[in-house]
Structure 1
């Protein structure tokens, strides 16, 4: 057995199945490869789901729970959607009903840390408009139902494809499409209302 089969390439693991098999075979230190490969996206997910300042704690607990449940991980399944499902559930357990009450400004500040900064040379008017637009998007995201918010976060903030989103949510791809369509339509109405006054149905 080649010890380093499945090592990281550009932040991704070339063969997660091999790494998971090594952990199951009694090589727990191999789990660090999965942690390194998925920490950034797990943190982004925790923040997007409303963990705020608790995001790092949520991610640490999620990785621990994933490690403890690795024996039940199905061969052939992708690790990232499975992990992000755990992150989403742990975020929900941590913040419970406080997700909707969390200030949009606080969530925006945390999300900005994971995004590229606008270059100083950029036109200030363009930068201000981009910041205002981001604020409107985050406010609209906060008004969605939990199911709709999850599908938008997975598809657009975490840049997961439709199949991965369906795996992470645990539903058919058709459900992802319908939830996404309803969520985007609602967000469009909310943003239009914020820009022009009054939500239109």
Structure 2
């Protein structure tokens, strides 16, 4: 059993080990630590309004599967792979090709200081064009770029999340970036 202050201070490996041993407080530490990235991943991968349900189901499945967790790429990547699978299942069942992940991608930080309205307008337009071109990409290209740049996952974490070899992640990322770059209007490419 963890004390209230210790629950926040334990590292990931310790929390996983304790959770495997049946310590629900330790699993709660993992849930607290990784709910936001899991929710963001679900949103960006297309869960939309069902993101909370996807994340909850992913945490339940992760808890049940803790015995299978090997720790190769870290708990976060392993959890996000479960989130990705749950989201794919949801999207497939709804028979939708386009998810609501773009809303999360274009959402601006309301606390961000914007010094120049002209710069802000240009940035919004560049963001709109980028999202428009991301939407037009093949779903595999979108997933790779989403994981690498919007979720800020490493190549190894992306490989685990999308269940791909690391080399495939590297080559698909390069190709997807080239395709995206080619789709962008000339004046926006270098911005």
Query: How does the TM-score come out when normalised to structure 2?
Result: 0.83
Gaps of 5+ in 2: none
More helix by share: 2
**What corresponds to 1:199 in structure 2?**
none
Q: Which gives a bigger RCO, structure 1 or 2 (Cα 8 Å, sep 6+)?
A: 2
Q: 2:84 touches 2:162 (CA, 8 Å); kept in 1?
A: no
SS of aligned partner of 2:109: coil
Q: 2:105 touches 2:150 (CA, 8 Å); kept in 1?
A: no
Q: CA deviation at 1:169?
A: 2.3
SS of aligned partner of 2:184: helix
Output the CA distance in 2 between the equivalents of 1:178 and 1:45.
22
Output the CA distance in 2 between the equivalents of 1:107 and 1:30.
31
Output the CA distance in 2 between the equivalents of 1:185 and 1:77.
27
Output the CA distance in 1 between the equivalents of 2:115 and 2:173.
33
Gaps of 5+ in 1: 196-201
Output the CA distance in 2 between the equivalents of 1:58 and 1:193.
39
**What corresponds to 1:176 in structure 2?**
169
Q: CA deviation at 1:165?
A: 1.8
Which string of whole-angstrom CA distances, capped at 9 and with x for unpartnered residues, describes residues 41-99 of structure 1? 11111111111222112111111111111121114541111111111111111122414
Task: Please say if 1:48 is aligned against 2:44.
Answer: yes
Q: CA deviation at 1:6?
A: 7.9
Output the CA distance in 2 between the equivalents of 1:184 and 1:71.
37
SS of aligned partner of 1:116: coil
SS of aligned partner of 1:155: helix
Q: 2:73 touches 2:156 (CA, 8 Å); kept in 1?
A: no
SS of aligned partner of 1:122: coil
Q: 1:47 touches 1:110 (CA, 8 Å); kept in 2?
A: yes
Output the CA distance in 1 between the equivalents of 2:6 and 2:157.
20
SS of aligned partner of 1:98: coil
**What corresponds to 2:150 in structure 1?**
157
